[in-house]
Structure 1
Amino acid sequence: MITSAQLRGARAMLGLTVETLASESKLAVSTIEALETDIGSSDIKALATVRSVLESRGVLFLAGGSDGTGGPGIRFKHWSDNDGIRPENLNATNDD
């Protein structure tokens, strides 16, 4: 289950307005706002639709850690070679 905070964060990370997300998911702005406020009382079908739209734009929803460390989160699904040098490949020869 994803959280309201994850939805807000994913939308912000993608730079989408509530209106844009509503349009892309074919839902009312008030439905998006309700999901971003309190998922517990929201329509499961609407939540699945919004999640699908966000995932299609490259967001990955992360569950909280089962060992008690780290809560639920979000990140982009794919790393592009155009995004720079991966951290594990940083060294003095490519330091600019």
Structure 2
Amino acid sequence: MITSAQLRGARAMLGLTTETLAIESKLPVTTIEALETDVSSAEAKALVAVRSVLEARGISFMASGSDEAGGAGIRFKHWAEDGGIRPENLNATNDD
């Protein structure tokens, strides 16, 4: 189960507005706002739609206790599959 905080954080990490996320998930803006306030009262279909959009854009959701220590979280998926350069490896010589 993902949390409202994870949804807000994922959207913020991607720099998406609620309007953009609503369009891409084919949901009303009010549904996005409701999910980001209280995910427990959401319809499963709405949560799946939003999660799918965020994951397709590169977000990985972590369950509580799934990574060493700490609670639920989010991070960018690994980019090694597409041969891209990880952000920490960018520098003036390889910044296109």
Q: Kindly tell me: are residues 84 and 69 of structure 1, through their superposed partners in 2, closer, same or farther at Cα, counting changes over 3 Å?
A: closer
Q: Does 1:57 align with 2:61?
A: no
The alpha carbon displacement at 1:82 in A equals 5.1
The alpha carbon displacement at 1:78 in A equals 2.0
> 1:24 is matched with which residue?
24
Q: 1-side partners of 2:86 and 2:48: how far apart?
A: 31
Q: Kindly tell me: are residues 78 and 37 of structure 1, through their superposed partners in 2, closer, same or farther at Cα, counting changes over 3 Å?
A: same
The CA RMSD over aligned residues, in Å, is 2.1
Count the aligned residue pairs.
86
> Over residues 27-83 of structure 1, what are the superposed CA-to-partner deviations in whole Å (9 max), with x where a residue is unaligned?
0000000000001111111000000000000000001106x9300000000233252
> 2:70 is matched with which residue?
70
Alignment TM-score, normalising by the size of structure 2: 0.82
Q: 1-side partners of 2:71 and 2:88: how far apart?
A: 28
- Unaligned segments of structure 2, at least 5 residues: 91-96
Q: Kindly tell me: are residues 82 and 76 of structure 1, through their superposed partners in 2, closer, same or farther at Cα, counting changes over 3 Å?
A: closer
Which letter does structure 2 place at the counterpart of 1:59? I
Which letter does structure 2 place at the counterpart of 1:31? T
> 2:89 is matched with which residue?
85
Q: 1-side partners of 2:78 and 2:45: how far apart?
A: 26
Q: Which runs of 4+ in 1 moved over 3 A?
A: none
- Unaligned segments of structure 1, at least 5 residues: 87-96
